[in-house]
A and B are shown apart, each in its own frame.
Chain A
Amino acid sequence: MRVKSVLLLSVLVSGAVLVGLTFVYPSVDDLMVENPFWNGLSKVYVSLDPVRVKELSELRTLVLNPGNSTLLILGPSTPFSEEDLRALRVFVSRGGLLVLADDFGSGNEVLEGFGVSVRFERLLLQDRLFKERNGLMPRTYGERVSCLMGVDSLVLNYAGVLRDVEGAVVLAWSSPFSYVSYEPSVPAEAVLSGPFPVVVECGFGEGEIIVVSDSSLFINSMLDLGDNAVLLSNLCRDELFIDEGHCIPSRLTVLRAGLSGVYSVLRMTEIRYGLCIVVVFVIFNVKWMKGDDEEVVVDEVEELMKRHPEYDRGLLEELQEKRRKARGYQ
Chain B
Amino acid sequence: MILVLAVFSYSIVGASDLPRHVDPSLLGSEYPFSPQLFELYTSAFGSIIAGEYVDARSLLDTVLMAYAPPDVRESLEEYTDFVVDVIGGFESTESSLEEAVHHLRWLREKLAADSIDEALRCLWETNRTIGILEESSSPLALELKSSAQTLLQGVTELGLHLEDVNLEILGALEEAELIGLLRTAGLRESELVISIDVEEALVGSSASIEGYLVDVNGTGLQVRDVDVFLGGNRIDTVSTDFSGFFASEIDVPFLYQESVSVHAEYWPKEEDVDRFTPSSSDALEISLIYFSPSLKVEVPSVGYPSKTAKVSGWLSFEGEALGGIAVQAVSFGRRQISKSGEDGFFEFDIAVPSDVVEGMADVVVESKPSDLYGPVRVVEDMEITRLPVSLVLDKPSWTFSGGYAEIEGLVSFEGVPLGDCMVEVKGRNQVEYVRTLSDGKFVAYLEYPLISLSSRYPFSLKVVPEEPWLRSVAIDGDIFVVNVVTLFCAPVFLGAAVFYVLQRNRDAGFVASKVDALDVSLVGSPSDMSSRGGFEGLYLRALGAIALLSEVVIRPSNTIREYLALISGKVSAGIFSVFERLSLLYERWVYGRKRGGPPLRRAERMLEDLEDNSEFEG
Contact = CB atoms under 8 A, between A and B. Distances in A.
Interface of A: 10-11, 13-14, 17-18, 21-22, 25, 28-31, 38-39, 61, 64-68, 75, 77, 95, 103-105, 128-137, 139, 153, 157-158, 177, 187, 206, 215-216, 219, 221-222, 225, 237-238, 248, 250-252, 255, 265, 267-271, 273-274, 277-278, 281, 285, 288, 291-292, 295, 298, 300, 303-304, 307-308, 310-312, 316, 319-320, 322-323, 326-328
B217 interface: no
B455 to A, nearest CB: 5
Contact of B357 (A64, A238, A307): A238
A104 B19 contact: yes
B29 interface: yes
Interface in B418-444: 424, 426, 431
5 contacts: A177-B33, A187-B36, A269-B453, A269-B454, A270-B454
B20 A30 contact: yes
Contacts of A14: 1, 4-5, 8
Given A61-B424, A158-B19, A300 B24 contact: no
Contact of B518 (A31, A288, A300, A328): A300
Interface in B496-550: 497-498, 501, 505, 508-509, 512-515, 518-519, 522
**Chain A CB within 10 Å, residue with most, of B30, B35, B522:** B30
Nearest to B32: A129
Contacts of B472: 64
B480 to A, nearest CB: 9
B36 A268 contact: no
Contact of A157 (B24, B30, B557): B24
A288 B551 CA distance: 41
A271 B19 contact: no
Interface string B14-28: 010111111111011
A292 B21 contact: no
Contacts of B13: 25, 28, 250, 252
Contacts of B24: 38, 132-134, 137, 157, 221-222, 225
A25 to B, nearest CB: 7
A304 B454 contact: no
A105 B591 contact: no
A225 B472 CA distance: 38
Contacts of B357: 67-68, 237-238
A298 to B, nearest CB: 7
Given A129-B66, A225-B24, A327-B593, 8 more contacts: A21-B9, A187-B33, A206-B355, A215-B20, A269-B455, A270-B487, A273-B490, A310-B556
A61 B29 contact: no
B105 interface: no
B453 to A, nearest CB: 4
A130 B65 contact: yes
**Chain A CB within 10 Å, residue with most, of B15, B23, B40:** B15
A308 B1 contact: no
A304 B515 contact: yes
B592 interface: yes
A310 B424 CA distance: 89
B608 interface: no
B511 to A, nearest CB: 10
A231 B13 CA distance: 32
Contact of B454 (A268, A308, A316): A268
A187 B483 CA distance: 70
Given A215-B21, A271-B453, A298-B515, A22 B12 contact: yes
Nearest to B65: A130
Contact of A133 (B17, B23, B27, B462): B27
A158 B483 CA distance: 55
Interface in B452-485: 453-455, 462, 464, 472, 483
A224 to B, nearest CB: 10
A281 B515 contact: no
Contacts of B28: 133-134
Interface of B: 1, 4-5, 8-9, 11-13, 15, 17-25, 27-30, 32-33, 35-37, 39-40, 65-67, 355-358, 424, 426, 431, 453-455, 462, 464, 472, 483, 486-487, 490, 494, 497-498, 501, 505, 508-509, 512-515, 518-519, 522, 556-557, 591-594
A300 B424 CA distance: 75
B20 A13 contact: no
A68 B353 CA distance: 12
B30 A134 contact: yes
Contacts of B513: 295
Given A68-B358, A129-B36, A270-B483, A134 B27 contact: yes
B24 to A, nearest CB: 5
Contacts of B19: 104, 158
B455 A13 contact: no
B252 to A, nearest CB: 38
Contact of A307 (B25, B455, B494, B519): B519
A22 B12 CA distance: 9
A328 B593 contact: yes
Contacts of A22: 12
A129 B30 CA distance: 9
Contacts of A10: 1, 4
**Chain A CB within 10 Å, residue with most, of B22, B498, B522, B591:** B22
B508 to A, nearest CB: 6
Q: Which 6 A-B pairs have the closest CB atoms?
A: A67-B355, A250-B15, A128-B33, A216-B21, A268-B453, A269-B454
A28 B10 CA distance: 12
Contacts of B592: 326-327
A303 to B, nearest CB: 5
Contacts of B29: 133-134
A248 B18 contact: yes
A61 B66 contact: no
Contacts of A278: 494
B400 to A, nearest CB: 13
Nearest to A326: B591
A259 B450 CA distance: 24
Nearest to B556: A308
Contacts of B8: 14, 18
A270 to B, nearest CB: 4
Given A29-B15, A68-B358, A304 B20 contact: no
A260 to B, nearest CB: 14
B512 A281 contact: no
Contacts of B65: 130, 139, 153
B39 to A, nearest CB: 8
A206 B424 CA distance: 25
Given A133-B67, A157-B22, A269 B32 contact: no
A304 B514 CA distance: 10
